[in-house]
Amino acid sequence: MSQRTYNQLWADAQSELAQLLAAELPSEPLRPEKDRVVFFQRLAVLYVRYLQVFRDLEVAYDQVVHPQKRVVIRANLDGVIGRLLELKNEMVEKEFSEYHYMDDVLHDLKLTPDDLEIPIPRHFISECSKDVKERKKMVAKILKTMEITDGPQLDMDKEMSQEDAVKIIQVVERARQGRLRAKLNQESRNMNRMYRNKDPQITDIELAAVCIQKVWKGYLQRKRTKTEREQEEILLGMALDPKYSATLPSEITARENEAHTRIRQHEHEEDYRKCIVAITNQLRDVEGHDISQTMKDQIRQWFFECRDATGTFPDYPDDEDGGSALIFVEKSPQQLMEEIAAKEEEEANAKPKGKEEKGKKDKGKGKTDEDEEEAGLKMLPSAFLADLVVGNKMFEDYWKSRDESKNYNQKHEVELIKEEKRKEIEAEIRLQVDEQMRQELAEWKLFVDKEKVGKAKANAKKKKGSKSGKKKKKEKDLTADRTLDSLCQELAEQGILKQPDYVKIKDFLGDYSYLGTTLRQNDIEPMPSLSDVRQVLSLYAILPLGSQFVHEKAPLIKAILLAGPAGVGKKMLVHAICQETGANLFDLSPLNTAGKYPGKSGLAMMLHMVFKVARLLQPSVIWIGDAEKMFYKKVPKEEKDLDPKRLKKDLPKSLKLIKGEDRVLIIGTTNDPLSADIKGLCKMYSKIILIPRPDYGSRIILWKQLIQKHGGQLNPALNLSSLSKISDGYTPGHIVKVIQAVITKRRILQLTKRPLTAVEFVEPLAKLDPVFQEEEEALKSWYAKTPLGKKRIKAATGQDEEEAPAKSAKGKDTKKKGK
């Protein structure tokens, strides 16, 4: 694809974004919606449409080489991601579920389930700052050193055993081939004996010819039958055409073009930065003096106009109000003076007015007609729509109708740099001019109006004093005398700072839930599919951790709990989140921290070090495996010495210290949430994600992808449908174990002569215990006791609507009692 194509993709995405903004910000506010279903439908349509814009902008940002365009695309991309997270949060609040099924929306918009997949922006990893990259290298170096010192002998032994295994396999295969030759010779002797009994005069040459003809005809017929069967399956859509299984030359060319595009991006970005520095210095040297002199002349003129109009010199606007920038607004001196005076009076009377108004509101009983009209469901305020409006305006003003026929190489526009930098230089010079002109105004007042400056200075001091409230207590740094390297070294030695496994979120295989909408329409709460889990974690964990701008303004999620049977991929998801965002992994699992940093002081030091390093090396993920152990109802006898509940009190306190600017996420995983105190778990983890065993569609994908990943080959004799049916109740972990047991190195060497069959997987599968329906139902019952689960049940039974008036009536009493 050429740059023109990606520019058009960007333009189309901006056009769709403009339509979305017009729908979200109409000239007249939308009336509140009383029907919850209709309101959720509106949210779902917005969500799906924003997701499509997100996908297009991500591709455009990854491939457009024009540096100034990429700045605008990135701003809009971050805004769209943030708005997507806001809509997801609002859908959860309105439907009381982490999972949503939007088949009707997909049908109306002519989309497929694949269009609901959350793309992971590639710039999360590629565009880390230099400091972050250096810190990542430092951590990787420490962890690599730890791996080497932990046991190089083990690695050597492992390597030797692999070589021996290969030799053994080769010897066994040669022996097997020898046995096959012996068997073939035996069959030839049997045929020779049979034909000679029928015709004793047959010669050896004739006998050989008969054998060859028989074998050759059989071979041709088998090959013809196999080809016809494959062609029929391809025609019916039951199999993939072989030409598409291999990498096509066009795909190779496309990948090469993408790599070349990224090189051009880097080159154009470097030229752009150098040009910014050169133009900034040039403007400051050439135009700086003239800008300063012009400002001073305009400000002096304002002094005299105000004195002619009012009889006295004006007060100079504060820097916080914009300084002399207020002077150049198109208003008369009288209007400007009145505006400044009104603003000062409003600031002086702000607090008393606020209290009076609050008191009046508390006294008022009953609802007015306007309040009754506004009852209903409304969209929550957005922190990203204003940014999207600004970004869309930049596109409309600068890029939509810009003629770039001469800019074939897509390099930066010098005039745009001058416009931007001229504003910045004017702002810098304005601060200097304001200081000088304040002094000059004070002298004019002293010599002409005989006014002393004491009052003004006193007022200024009062204003400054009023702003300084009580200072918040800073967190005490227990390791102020230590370097980051030493802290990382210690945490790595203790096994708390770990290297995440190389897995991606797309490796968490699973199919779309095609029955979700149907089940909900029949008042049955469906179990989410693995595809749903993948999407939710992309929204809750990967997108906020990957972007600082999004994390600071999007709904803040500090802790997520992944609950599900053993083997469903909870730990894999934790590692995938780290890989997709470049996050560091800290392991605070009860079993991992047992015996480390003993005592209260040791525990405080461990948590302090972990959270300090996590903030300095953000994004960071703090993993708590077996999270139920921290909130045990009753600690088992065999685990009492491990003290699994030692983090129960202190970890939630550390969680409160995480702010919007800290890209730190706590992820807990649990196989047995029923053994824990549910109140403690729900208080610790704001999001609880239930991960089920895979359904039929997900199992087909798992068998197919994992068999190929482990070196197996698909063939007509390998009935994946049967395998998927008999593996109902088994987790992805079970399927991986079975495949590893069957597809050994020796079996891979035999594939050309003995293709895989479904029967081979049955015996090892039967040796494993599946997740029974009772266990899954117990998990569903447990989840129904969580805050969101309770709301979902009430919404399904209609209790939330009946209780709403009672709650609103008792709202005041509840608040007073809470206080």
Tell me: the pLDDT tens digits for 455-484?
Answer: 444 444 444 444 444 455 566 777 888 888
Q: What is the mean pLDDT of residues 153-165?
A: 42
Q: For 83-87, 612-616, 641-645, which range has the lowest pLDDT when averaged over its residues?
A: 641-645
Q: Which of 303-307, 333-337, 523-527, 690-694: highest mean pLDDT?
A: 690-694
Between 573 and 792, where is the model more confident? 573
Between 373 and 286, where is the model more confident? 286
Q: Does 178 have pLDDT greater than 60?
A: no
DSSP annotation of 29 reads P
Other Cβ atoms less than 10 A from the Cβ of 661: the count is 10
pLDDT tens readout for residues 68-102: 899 999 999 999 999 999 999 999 988 888 888 88
The answer to whether the peptide bond before residue 619 is cis (omega within 30 degrees of 0) is yes
What percent of the chain lies above the pLDDT cut of 90? 22
Residue count (the chain) = 819
Q: Which residues contact 121 (CB under 8 A, 6 or more apart)?
A: 58, 61, 62, 77, 81, 543, 546, 547
Residue 312, helix vs strand vs coil? coil
Between 178 and 101, where is the model more confident? 101
pLDDT at 179: 52
Q: Shortest CA distance to 6 belongs to which of 51, 55, 52, 61?
A: 61
Between 239 and 662, where is the model more confident? 662
Query: Tokens for 26?
Result: 């109409």
Query: CA–CA separation, 713 vs 773, rounded Å?
Result: 32
Give a three-class secondary structure readout of 772-803: CHHHHHHHHHHHCCCHHHHHHHHHHHCHHHHH
Residue 185, helix vs strand vs coil? helix
Check: CB of residue 69 under 8 Å from CB of residue 399: yes
Check: CB of residue 558 under 8 Å from CB of residue 686: yes
Query: CA–CA separation, 809 vs 464, rounded Å?
Result: 43
- Residue 579: CA atoms inside 13 Å, Cβ hemisphere, count? 15
Residue 194, helix vs strand vs coil? helix
The dihedral through the CA atoms of 159, 165, 168, 172 has a sign that is negative
pLDDT band at 187 (very low <50, low <70, confident <90, very high): low
Q: For 275-279, 725-729, 802-806, which range has the lowest pLDDT when averaged over its residues?
A: 802-806
Between 550 and 287, where is the model more confident? 550
pLDDT at 160: 40
**DSSP string of 489-512, one letter each residue:** HHHHHTT-EEPPPS--GGGS----
Q: Does 814 have pLDDT greater than 50?
A: no
Q: Which residues contact 510 (CB under 8 A, 6 or more apart)?
A: 529, 530, 531, 532, 533, 534, 694, 698, 701, 702
Q: Which residues pair with 632 in a beta bridge?
A: 676
Other Cβ atoms less than 10 A from the Cβ of 358: the count is 10
Query: CA–CA separation, 66 vs 345, rounded Å?
Result: 49
Between 543 and 326, where is the model more confident? 543
pLDDT at 463: 45
Query: Tokens for 445?
Result: 């007042």
Q: Which residues pair with 584 in a beta bridge?
A: 620
Q: Which residues pair with 498 in a beta bridge?
A: 585
DSSP annotation of 396 reads I
305 burial (CB, 10 Å; 0-12 / 13-18 / 19+) is: middle
Between 80 and 37, where is the model more confident? 80
Alpha carbon dihedral 209, 214, 219, 221, in 10-degree steps, equals 130
What percent of the chain lies above the pLDDT cut of 70? 77
Q: Which residues contact 716 (CB under 8 A, 6 or more apart)?
A: 229, 230, 233
- Residue 186: CA atoms inside 13 Å, Cβ hemisphere, count? 6
Q: Does 367 have pLDDT greater than 50?
A: no
Q: In one letter, which amino acid is 699?
A: R
**DSSP string of 89-133, one letter each residue:** HHHHHHH--S----HHHHHHTT--GGGGS----THHHHT--HHHH
pLDDT band at 810 (very low <50, low <70, confident <90, very high): very low
Kindly list the distances between the CA atom of residue 462 and the CA atoms of 66, 327, 431, 445, in Å, as whole numbers in the listed order: 50, 24, 22, 21
- Mean pLDDT estimate for the chain: 80
pTM of the complete model: 0.77
* Mode of pairing for the β-strands spanning 584-587 and 664-670: unpaired
Q: Which of 144-153, 283-292, 357-366: highest mean pLDDT?
A: 283-292
pLDDT tens readout for residues 115-155: 899 999 988 888 776 666 777 777 777 777 766 555 443 33
Q: Shortest CA distance to 399 belongs to which of 407, 697, 579?
A: 407
pLDDT at 125: 84
pLDDT band at 349 (very low <50, low <70, confident <90, very high): low
pLDDT at 562: 94
Check: CB of residue 389 under 8 Å from CB of residue 21: yes
Per-residue burial over 547-557, b = 16 or more CB atoms within 10 Å of its CB, e = otherwise: bbbbbbbbbeb
- Residue 693: CA atoms inside 13 Å, Cβ hemisphere, count? 21
Kindly list the distances between the CA atom of residue 615 and the CA atoms of 179, 479, 537, 706, in Å, as whole numbers in the listed order: 65, 14, 21, 37
pLDDT at 203: 66
pLDDT band at 16 (very low <50, low <70, confident <90, very high): very high
Per-residue burial over 200-209, b = 16 or more CB atoms within 10 Å of its CB, e = otherwise: eeeeeeebee
* Mode of pairing for the β-strands spanning 497-498 and 584-587: antiparallel
Residue 677, helix vs strand vs coil? coil
pLDDT tens readout for residues 102-119: 888 888 889 888 889 999
Q: Which residues contact 79 (CB under 8 A, 6 or more apart)?
A: 384, 387, 388, 391
Q: What angle do CA 254, 255, 256 make, to 5 degrees?
A: 90
Query: CA–CA separation, 540 vs 85, rounded Å?
Result: 8
Query: Tokens for 576?
Result: 């995938």
Alpha carbon of residue 646 to chain centroid = 31
Residue 688, helix vs strand vs coil? strand
Q: In one letter, which amino acid is 805?
A: P
DSSP annotation of 480 reads T
Residue 621, helix vs strand vs coil? strand
pLDDT tens readout for residues 777-791: 898 889 988 988 888
Strands of 584-587's sheet, edge to edge? 497-498, 584-587, 620-624, 664-670, 559-563, 687-690
Q: Does 379 have pLDDT greater than 70?
A: yes
Check: CB of residue 498 under 8 Å from CB of residue 585: yes
Alpha carbon of residue 313 to chain centroid = 57
Query: Tokens for 700?
Result: 């087909």
Check: CB of residue 608 under 8 Å from CB of residue 478: yes
Q: Does 577 have pLDDT greater than 90?
A: yes
Residue reference for tokens 């399956």: 233
How far does the chain reach from its first CA to its final CA, in angstroms? 62
pLDDT at 811: 44
Q: Does 369 have pLDDT greater than 60?
A: no
Check: CB of residue 591 under 8 Å from CB of residue 626: yes
Q: What is the mean pLDDT of residues 362-389?
A: 68
Query: Tokens for 145?
Result: 């050193």
Query: CA–CA separation, 705 vs 708, rounded Å?
Result: 5
Check: CB of residue 731 under 8 Å from CB of residue 568: yes
